[in-house]
């Protein structure tokens, strides 16, 4: 169950009480505010609060007051300039706070992005719910033979069924023992901070994650990429849909220059110039290693 009845009641109450404000409001983000977007089998991501919009980015860049310009096209052009030239501080003027429910092993990947404020559900004080991430059969794949961090071919039906039985059975047994250790019906059991160590990494946790737009874009560039692990990528893709409505001009520039663009080394740029002059360039004459050349060819071929 992604959202508990109590959480849904809280969401309904928050959505039913609109408030007047003098601060900048993004109509696109207002539509997402408080709503939980389901991710994976029991997870979700939702916006709890936000600050700023596209105009706030431009205002900071110009160090001015008010809207700074009457032309939306001028603002969009300025934002594209800032993104193109890797300016960061204007984008840091926008912030957003998410409430995320996610498997622990995904959280351990996520927390590597240290440029955010995080407050996680504590299993020292509270009892974790019996909720585990169990992949779909089509998401179970063998270890890649070319990438130590990635997946290869999807498992066959028989092998996938065996793996799913292991995942479900092990998770259930671990939680049964967890409940026994912490004690039931008033019995004094093992301290929760100790009992939790027996729980598997696919159990769900929750946190509030607050980040500025500059660092959020960095997170999305890595985690919404096609090469990112599926289980964190689907969270990033859900966040992308929210950010697109929050700061459409900034997100458009981000899609163009970061997600859809490429960075070339000095050697690679020199090869492009030589190619434009009609010269035939090979890996041997490029000055690049075989790995660099493969990546360069990948960029040129799309």
Residues 37-66 pLDDT 10s: 999 999 999 999 999 999 999 999 988 545
Chain centre to alpha carbon of residue 67? 30
Catalytic residue among 223, 233, 274, 294: 223
Q: Over the stretch 114-173, which tens digit does the pLDDT of each residue have?
A: 999 999 999 999 999 999 999 999 999 999 887 777 888 999 999 999 999 999 999 999
Residues of the chain with pLDDT under 70: 1, 64-73, 185-186
Report strand pairing: 117-120 vs 95-103: unpaired
CA-CA distance, 205 to 104, in Å (whole number)? 6
233 a catalytic residue: no
Tokens 């100790």, residue?
194
CA-CA distance, 171 to 232, in Å (whole number)? 20
Return the percentage of the chain with pLDDT > 90, whole number. 80
The pLDDT value recorded for residue 213 is: 98
Return the structure tokens found at 248: 């459409």
Closest CA to 83 of 210, 227, 221: 221
Which contacts of 169-174 are long-range, i.e. CB under 8 A and separated by 24 or more positions?
A: 170/200, 171/132, 171/134, 171/200, 171/202, 171/203, 174/198, 174/199, 174/200
Calculate ∠ Cα 38-44-47, nearest 5°. Answer: 110
CATH of 5-132+204-259, one of 3.40.50.300, 3.40.50.970, 3.40.640.10, 3.30.1360.170: 3.30.1360.170
Domain assignments of the chain as residue spans, ordered by start: 5-132+204-259, 134-201, 266-301
Q: What one-character DSSP code corresponds to residue 258? A: I
Return the structure tokens found at 166: 């292991």
């Amino acid at each position: 169950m992604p959202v508990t009845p109590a959480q849904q009641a809280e969401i309904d109450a928050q959505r039913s009480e609109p408030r007047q404000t003098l601060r900048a409001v993004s109509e696109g983000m207002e539509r997402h505010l408080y709503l939980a977007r389901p991710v994976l089998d029991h997870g979700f991501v939702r916006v709890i609060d936000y600050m700023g919009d596209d105009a706030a980015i431009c205002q900071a860049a110009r160090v001015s007051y008010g809207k700074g310009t009457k032309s939306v096209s001028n603002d969009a052009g300025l934002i594209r300039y800032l993104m193109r030239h890797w300016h960061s501080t204007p984008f840091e003027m926008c912030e957003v706070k998410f409430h995320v429910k996610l498997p622990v092993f995904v959280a351990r990947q996520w927390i590597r992005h240290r440029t955010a404020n995080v407050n996680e559900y504590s299993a020292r004080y509270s009892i974790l719910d019996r909720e585990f991430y169990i992949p779909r059969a089509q998401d179970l794949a063998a270890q890649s033979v070319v990438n130590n961090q990635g997946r290869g071919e999807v498992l066959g039906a028989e092998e996938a069924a065996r793996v799913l039985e292991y995942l479900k059975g092990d998770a259930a047994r671990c939680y049964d023992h967890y409940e026994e250790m912490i004690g039931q019906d008033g019995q004094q059991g093992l301290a929760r901070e100790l009992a939790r160590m027996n729980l598997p990494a696919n159990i769900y946790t929750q946190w509030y994650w607050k980040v500025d737009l500059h660092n959020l874009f960095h997170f999305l560039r890595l985690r919404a990429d096609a090469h990112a692990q599926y289980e964190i990528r689907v969270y990033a893709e859900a966040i992308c849909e929210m950010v697109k409505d929050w700061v459409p001009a900034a997100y458009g520039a981000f899609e163009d220059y970061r997600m859809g663009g490429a960075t070339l080394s000095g050697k690679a740029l020199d090869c492009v110039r030589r190619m434009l002059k009609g010269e035939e360039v090979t890996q041997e004459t490029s000055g690049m290693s075989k790995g660099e050349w493969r990546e360069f060819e990948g960029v040129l071929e799309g």
